[in-house]
Amino acid sequence: MGRLKGKVAIVGIGEVPTGRFPDRAAIFHAVESARLAIKDAGINKDLIDFVMPTAALYSPQFNTELVTCRIAEELGLRNAKTNCQIFAGGSSGSCFLKLGGSIIETGIANYVLCVHADRLGTGVTAQGGIDLFSTAGISAEWEVPFGQHYSAIAGLTTTRYKYETGCTDEQLAAVCVSNRKWAELNPNAFFRKPLTIEEVLASKMLSTPLRAKQSNMLFDGGSALIITSAERAAEITEKPVYLLGESGRVTHFVFSQEPDLTRFGWAEAAKEAFGEAGITPNDVDVAEIYDSYPIYQVIGMEELGFCRRGEAGEMYLKGDTWPGGRLPTTTNGGMLSQGHTGAGGGVALLVEAVRQLMGKAGQRQAPDAKIAVETGTGGTYMDAQVTILGTVIP
């Protein structure tokens, strides 16, 4: 173990509001997020020598622009040597750290700028966005022809989990309420109106037993972060955020080939990540858990070891995960309340984890946060990625 532990750090983050902005080009979300990250890091932009955009789904043309160095040109980066796109769906944020950190550690680059931007809210028609996103990563040969889509997948997982654990509808609705309470404090979130369990359960049935207010919605948005070595980080910022541990498991492509619809690879990935960091779940101050639907946040909470099997729903219902609770969870509001921006859903959680550890979360700041865990997963929950960050190296 000990691969990148304490060797690399995040020194700057940037994010634009999530929402519907028909008058803003997608490049605005990318460039503004990057500009804010550079300003946050307090560095000269020309120190950046590696640009790492992730993919945009709404437009092949814009995605090609990301691949062919438009961000570097728009920012006027004079010393950028490489522009290389990476993409792993909702795991793209985890890949930023794994690959960007490795590039830093090997000396290929000194500062890596990682950027995500998309326009899934206004860059496509409403139906076009649904058609694009509802079957992305679902087998066009074996599953799509039979009606498989993401809401159906979440419904299947939820049904099986409820059967195995006795989890209630009220507990699952409480996940949405918890995330909304955080979003109410987040100026970058789209949904900031208070939400109740009763409102969640009264919303229309989407894919049994999943209801409309338990589903994410697609929006425009962008976020960015800057990675450098631990040594440089200590010189340029008072509170760098170090990578302490990471691991992952790829378990399937076709959802029907996943061996366990209610566990995936989270436990194995978490065991390795916590082992590398040299800590336990009890040491975590903030948990930024991937939440495209509430069931996956519940599963993540349990498989990472924050509670026993079947107990996560009660944690959300009691308020343990809310502002002021014992384990602040998905503190930006997640995809259920900040909004889903494609790969940006996972990147936003990573940015939020860093924001909390840097003490820059404003009204939603978790007190004295020193260690955060962040999770990502792409496609049909094909992989389980666990990242542990901290302000000190154990």
DSSP state of 90: B
Q: Report the range of poorest mean pLDDT among 125-134, 148-157, 194-203, 309-318.
A: 125-134
Could you tell me if 214 and 176 are in contact, meaning their C-beta atoms sit under 8 angstroms apart? Answer: yes
**40 shares its domain with 103:** yes
**328 shares its domain with 369:** yes
Asked whether residue 25 is domain-assigned, the answer is yes
Asked whether residue 342 is domain-assigned, the answer is yes
Structural domain that includes position 89:
8-124+219-236
Reported pTM: 0.97
211-247 residue pLDDT tens = 999 999 999 999 999 999 999 999 999 899 999 999 9
Asked whether residue 147 is domain-assigned, the answer is yes
Asked whether residue 187 is domain-assigned, the answer is yes
**381 shares its domain with 271:** yes
What is the band of 135 on the pLDDT scale with cuts at 50, 70, 90?
confident
- Please state, for a pLDDT cut of 90, what percent of the chain lies above it: 92
**299 shares its domain with 344:** yes
Provide the residue type at 106 as one letter: T
Asked whether residue 207 is domain-assigned, the answer is yes
**223 shares its domain with 210:** no
Asked whether residue 129 is domain-assigned, the answer is no
CATH of the domain at 104: 3.40.47.10
**283 shares its domain with 171:** yes
Q: Where does a domain end: 202, 236, 270?
A: 236
The pLDDT score that the predictor gives to residue 2 is 53
Domain count, the chain: 2
Q: Where does a domain end: 176, 204, 236?
A: 236
**199 shares its domain with 228:** no
Within 13 Å, how many C-alpha atoms sit on residue 47's CB side? 16
**147 shares its domain with 114:** no
**114 shares its domain with 38:** yes
Could you tell me if 103 and 50 are in contact, meaning their C-beta atoms sit under 8 angstroms apart? Answer: yes
Report the Cα 315 to chain-centroid distance in Å: 21
Return phi, psi of residue 209, to 5°: -95, 20
Asked whether residue 132 is domain-assigned, the answer is no
**37 shares its domain with 141:** no
**107 shares its domain with 54:** yes
259-270 residue pLDDT tens = 999 999 999 999
Asked whether residue 91 is domain-assigned, the answer is yes
The pLDDT score that the predictor gives to residue 1 is 43
The secondary element (H helix, E strand) that includes residue 375 is strand 371-376
Taking the CB of residue 290, how many other CB atoms lie within 10 A of it? 28
Considering only CA atoms, which of 35, 340, 24 is closest in space to residue 179? 340
Provide the residue type at 310 as one letter: G
Sequence-ordered alpha helix ranges (H) in the chain: 26-41, 60-67, 70-75, 92-105, 126-134, 150-165, 169-183, 197-202, 230-236, 266-277, 294-303, 312-318, 334-337, 344-358
**261 shares its domain with 367:** yes
